[in-house]
Structure 1
Amino acid sequence: MAEYHEITVLPEGKKIMAEAGKTLMDALAEHVDLRADCGGNGVCGKCRIIVITKGLPDLNDVEQEHLSSGLITSGYRLACQVVVDRPMMVRLPESGQDKGHVEAKKVFPGPYPVNPYLELKADKRYLGLAVDLGTTTVAGYLCDLKTGHILASRATINPQRRYGDDVISRINFAGKSPANLKRLQGLALDAISYLADTCLKEVNGDRDDIYGLIVAGNTTMEHILAGLDVSRLGRTPFTPATFSEIKFKTEELGLRFRPGTSFTILPIIAAFVGGDTLACVLANKPYRRDEMTLIVDLGTNGEIVLGNKEGMWTTSCATGPALEGAQLSCGMRATLGAISACDIDPATYKFSYKTIGEDIEPPLGFCGSGILDLIAAMIKSGIVKSGGNFNKNAPGYTISDRDGGMARVVFIPEDNNPAKVEIFVSQHDIRQVQLAKAAVITGIRELMNKVGIKKIDRTILTGAFGNAFNWRSAVTIGMLPDLDTLGKVVSTDNLAGEGAVLALLDKNTRFEAEEIKSKTQYMNLAEQSGFMQKFVENTGFDEAKE
């Protein structure tokens, strides 16, 4: 018989029965919002907790690497490394909590073209829900199927995050057992149900008013939602179980809507170019334009589309989670307390910043837009060299090593921060952003070479990260081409969500989706001649002062 121990979680005083031998991460995952950026693999160092119970085994090497001497003295441990072997009392510090604030994803409110897929009666209310199922955030749009207007919209954290910030972590978790896949599927369905209920509450509706749901997501998210095997997405040749549109009735998924309510998942283009990218194309319609259009959808993965009515090409690039603030020393997603914008005065070297919810929240770390601004500012002020190394002769800041570890620059000392959190950037953080930015710029340039163009007419930036950042900072660090090459630049909150709304309201848009899927050519970056050499060359910062 399994042995269990009681875990008391402060400050709420919640009591949890945890099976002996499990890590605190596994024990707490179902009960508290604890950060788990790397899925409990001991890589990110973000699952920080304070263990009040005495007598635990000493910190292991992973904890020693990620925790400063000050944090260790204060009782900090990593939840993924502590094994439950006795009753415990733990405290969740602010820096270890996965806070629930989600920035709303705005889309055009309508009206959209209406060409319903079912016969509508004049005396009944017909609603539908369009969903953008992102790796980090899930957004829902409640639509009137008669008028084509969005009546309400909501967003929530993807609850699958407790099993890792990126799709690879979730593929690995799902691949361990059918029960794990079922768990991830259930969490996604829970999020969709929550969005439906909160949107319906706003318009005094109920689930019987909904006649259809449609979902756009990346390939992994769509496969998990459909309960499909994702193991082949985690190994070469990265083969999806299906490329086609997937249809259910809500009752087949265990959802409590009116019997027969349709539940549709958009088709995908390639292994890592999913229904969300297809939805972006449906919303912006470059396939109907003369102008050469570049769509860059940036999140935990990067998808790029380039083309016009003469033809379209697409590729995906492994940006990693750095652009959403994950797996950085002081990284976090765009939630309360995240530094979302910052700069360094070139004359005084003073660091200035803005946080999300800055009137009530002290800084806890950098989200993706903040880290991009920071590195651009460090380049301009001479703190970072062209190769990405710190310039130890740069004025204004001291390049230091923490406890003999990796070089870093402290921007907000712990003593100057009400949250009692030290805000810094390390050499490792710079490297992570270099890898992400090299992936994006290499993908863009390779697509331009494939199409045979030197200049783009229109650039559309979207995605969980793509709409929220200062794109000029991305140009400064070399993640995007120069301004002359980009043409007119437009940032849009949620192009994928808008495309999902179109597909929900207009049955012809779904026919277009299948046509676009078949006509869009996919380019595998890794198979391009000289790709690795180009990628390495693109890790540099050309605008850096030596």
Structure 2
Amino acid sequence: MNRMVTVPAGTTVLSAIREAGIQFEAICGGKGTCGKCRVIKISGKTSEEGSCCAKFLTLDEQRKGYCLACLVQVWSDAVFTIPIESRIDTPQILLDIAQTIQTISPSVHKYLVEKNLNYSLVTLGPSIRFAGYDGKRPVMNENQRDLIINSAHPLTATLYKKTEESLLIALEEHDTTERLFGIALDLGTTTVVGLLVDLLTGEIIKKASTLNRQITLGEELVTRIAIGRKEEGRKELQIAALGSVNEIIHKLTHGSGIKWNEIYDICLGGNTIMTWLLAGKDPTPLEYVDAQVESNPVLLNAETIGIDALPLTPIFCLPAVSRFVGGDAIGDILTSSMHKKTEISLLIDLGTNGEIILGNKDWMVSTSCASGPAFEGAGMRSGMRAMKGAIDTVKIDKSGQVIWHVIGDTDPKGVCGSGIIDAAAAMAHAGILDISGKLIESAPGVREGEHGLEFLLVPSHLTATGKDIVITSEDMAYLMDSKAAVLAAIIVLIKKYRLTPLDIHHVYLAGAFSSFGNIENLISFGILPEFPSAEFHRIGNGSLAGAYACLISSSLRKEATDIAKRMGYLDLLVDNDFIEEYWGALRIPEKDELFLIP
């Protein structure tokens, strides 16, 4: 990659990679538990935790110089290669949104300034008016007031309506009332996606996406909470998130004819932890079951936290319900409109953390489950995120031949979440897995590997890495754990309200995995129960769509807050029924079984 960085002796290779600003796989954040931060040592004096490296690397890989970046310390000038499977290359990021707004009513508006230099007994000075504005007198500071009085040019004022009062957030020379822009953001655990929007028309001018720079510090939310306990770590996480957001703003404004100082409003959807870390709040309370989370939106401005926009540009973060059901889930609900329907709906958003919401216009309840990063390709021997080179669909024909499709139509490097589910469902159907998800030793394609039984998905001569792509016994145990957690969470939520799948009329699938995953395989593998009465809807990136909706409709901001305040939350960590249902969900349903909740 032709990158050089200077670090103190004794620094780990992972720390050096972070210092160099390279996007790199490090799912566990450097704890030595995921085995994904692979590098190849070319030269230099180093020391390493050999036993831990051996756990994740084959003997052939070790002979070739492979090691784990988080466990290797450098003690001299050294050279390392980052192998292709450890690089993050052109991730497949969901950009589609399924939200259309009929009435455009943003929270920011522009008005021409009218001033009367004659002395006023009411204001004790020159009077200032905003043409067409009929609300309460806007809040302005002395500098803004002096600028209006002393300016020799016509001025345009941008007012932001914050609750019942309006704030003067920008003054510009000349008439700029036809230029009013905002940005909608989805600050995800792994990815950040943004929309540049004309606030006068609602038109989406441009889309952009990037990876959340926090992922090199650790992909799992619990890892980031642990880092954020200390002020230094919290600042590092905030800077990483801000860097990602500012990168999005640069991508959106570059070449669009719109400048960064023409961004007057920002609306953001994200889970509770991501929102707190962006705001610089201590996430430690979110470790506890009884964590108290405000159901009001987090309100910031660009100058306070360092976002590249006008200093007083407001940032509206969609409100959260609980520590693991955040503004991204509220965005999903706004996008689905399930809160307006008489019929009962179920909304499922699967990622590293799974959010599940049940209800209708009269009531709603939510829960979350630690589905783990398996559905995003992490934690698996040949797993990877959905990006160029990832197998995203798998079939096994009657002859036992494995058929796959690769993102980017290139040689495969690994298999992502949707491909893993396809493969598992196909393996179960072909008799390669038993009902408990274990590999059957005598089945076609199953062989003995260095760490137990494994199924050969793609032989080495057909891969980009020159290594076999396999699904191991450990992979299947991890996947079964994740799928059981999701299914058990759904079952518990439905049973608590004395319902059955027959009572569910709409199932909304949100997020990248839910939107790309094969619904038939999600059911046949037992991640979802069957819903005979339900219509399935893929709503895409509901978090982004919800942020867009709140950006161009001030009334939907109030609606989002109302949803958060009236929604119940069931914490499965203290629910006895969850453990029972979890053990029951650790199986693959029979082919002829109607997989309903009894």
- The interval holding the TM-score normalised by the smaller chain is over 0.9
CA distance in 1, matches of 2:290, 2:386: 30
The one of 150, 153, 157 equivalent to 2:204 is 150
Q: Which amino acid aligns with 2:430?
A: S
Alignment of 1:217-228 (within 5 A): 217-228=270-281
Q: 1:435 maps to which residue? A: 481
**Larger radius of gyration between Structure 1 and Structure 2:** 2
- For the Cα contact (< 8 Å) 1:113–1:506, is it kept in 2? yes
Moved more, 103-112 or 520-529: 103-112
Q: Which amino acid aligns with 2:34?
A: C
| Alignment pair present for 1:216 and 2:269 | yes
- For the Cα contact (< 8 Å) 1:379–1:544, is it kept in 2? no
Q: Which amino acid aligns with 2:419?
A: G
CA distance in 2, matches of 1:544, 1:18: 57
| Alignment pair present for 1:340 and 2:386 | no
CA distance in 2, matches of 1:281, 1:108: 12
**After superposition, what is the alpha-carbon deviation per residue over 1:3-48, rounded to whole angstroms, capped at 9, x for unaligned?**
xxxxxxxxx3322112122211112113122210111111111111
Alignment of 1:27-42 (within 5 A): 27-31=16-20, 32-42=22-32
CA distance in 2, matches of 1:515, 1:527: 26
Q: 1:230 maps to which residue? A: 283
Q: Which amino acid aligns with 1:131?
A: L
**After superposition, what is the alpha-carbon deviation per residue over 1:317-351, rounded to whole angstroms, capped at 9, x for unaligned?**
11011110111111111011111111111x21001
**After superposition, what is the alpha-carbon deviation per residue over 1:82-127, rounded to whole angstroms, capped at 9, x for unaligned?**
1111211111110111224343411147555312223334733111
CA distance in 1, matches of 2:556, 2:427: 45
TM superposition shift of 1:206:
0.6
Moved more, 254-263 or 206-215: 254-263
Q: Which amino acid aligns with 1:205?
A: I
TM superposition shift of 1:418:
3.9
Aligned length: 525
The root-mean-square deviation of aligned C-alpha atoms, in Å, is: 1.8
**After superposition, what is the alpha-carbon deviation per residue over 1:121-153, rounded to whole angstroms, capped at 9, x for unaligned?**
473311111111111111111111111222211
TM superposition shift of 1:277:
0.3
Q: 2:299 maps to which residue? A: 247
- For the Cα contact (< 8 Å) 2:93–2:512, is it kept in 1? no
Moved more, 111-120 or 190-199: 111-120
CA distance in 1, matches of 2:351, 2:281: 23
| Alignment pair present for 1:189 and 2:230 | no
Q: 1:390 maps to which residue? A: 439
Alignment of 1:320-469 (within 5 A): 320-345=372-397, 347-358=398-409, 361-394=410-443, 396-402=444-450, 405-454=451-500, 455=502, 456-469=504-517
- For the Cα contact (< 8 Å) 2:99–2:545, is it kept in 1? no
TM superposition shift of 1:512:
1.1
TM superposition shift of 1:483:
4.3
Q: Which amino acid aligns with 1:150?
A: I
Q: Which amino acid aligns with 1:302?
A: G
The one of 456, 462, 472 equivalent to 2:520 is 472
Q: Secondary structure at the match of 2:73?
A: coil
CA distance in 2, matches of 1:496, 1:58: 41
- For the Cα contact (< 8 Å) 2:454–2:470, is it kept in 1? yes
Q: Structure 2 vs 1, CA of residues 368 and 59 (structure 1 numbering), >3 Å: closer, same or farther?
A: same
Q: Structure 2 vs 1, CA of residues 241 and 443 (structure 1 numbering), >3 Å: closer, same or farther?
A: closer
Which residues of structure 2 form unaligned runs of 5+?
Answer: 112-175, 593-598
- For the Cα contact (< 8 Å) 2:188–2:212, is it kept in 1? yes
Q: 2:6 maps to which residue? A: 17
Q: Structure 2 vs 1, CA of residues 321 and 112 (structure 1 numbering), >3 Å: closer, same or farther?
A: farther
CA distance in 1, matches of 2:466, 2:574: 47
CA distance in 2, matches of 1:227, 1:59: 34
| Alignment pair present for 1:80 and 2:70 | yes
The one of 345, 364, 370 equivalent to 1:312 is 364
- For the Cα contact (< 8 Å) 2:184–2:195, is it kept in 1? yes
TM-score calculated relative to the size of structure 1: 0.92
CA distance in 1, matches of 2:48, 2:509: 47
- For the Cα contact (< 8 Å) 2:380–2:475, is it kept in 1? yes
Q: Secondary structure at the match of 2:343?
A: coil
Q: Secondary structure at the match of 1:503?
A: helix
TM-score calculated relative to the size of structure 2: 0.85
- For the Cα contact (< 8 Å) 1:375–1:477, is it kept in 2? yes
Moved more, 129-138 or 249-258: 249-258
Moved more, 177-186 or 446-455: 446-455
CA distance in 2, matches of 1:154, 1:61: 42
The one of 259, 264, 267 equivalent to 2:311 is 259
Q: 1:505 maps to which residue? A: 552
TM superposition shift of 1:416:
3.6
- For the Cα contact (< 8 Å) 2:453–2:472, is it kept in 1? yes
Q: Which amino acid aligns with 2:291?
A: T
Q: Structure 2 vs 1, CA of residues 303 and 214 (structure 1 numbering), >3 Å: closer, same or farther?
A: same
CA distance in 1, matches of 2:335, 2:2: 47
Q: Secondary structure at the match of 1:20?
A: coil
TM superposition shift of 1:294:
0.8
Q: Which amino acid aligns with 2:39?
A: I
- For the Cα contact (< 8 Å) 1:112–1:149, is it kept in 2? no
Q: 1:171 maps to which residue? A: 225
CA distance in 2, matches of 1:104, 1:205: 24
Q: 1:205 maps to which residue? A: 258
Percent identity between the two aligned chains? 30
CA distance in 2, matches of 1:105, 1:421: 32
CA distance in 2, matches of 1:516, 1:370: 35
Q: 1:484 maps to which residue? A: 532
The one of 290, 300, 324 equivalent to 2:352 is 300
Q: Structure 2 vs 1, CA of residues 202 and 330 (structure 1 numbering), >3 Å: closer, same or farther?
A: same
- For the Cα contact (< 8 Å) 1:412–1:424, is it kept in 2? yes
Q: Which amino acid aligns with 2:565?
A: S
CA distance in 1, matches of 2:320, 2:105: 23
CA distance in 1, matches of 2:372, 2:276: 20
Q: Which amino acid aligns with 1:451?
A: Y
CA distance in 2, matches of 1:244, 1:445: 29
Q: Structure 2 vs 1, CA of residues 290 and 47 (structure 1 numbering), >3 Å: closer, same or farther?
A: same
| Alignment pair present for 1:118 and 2:169 | no
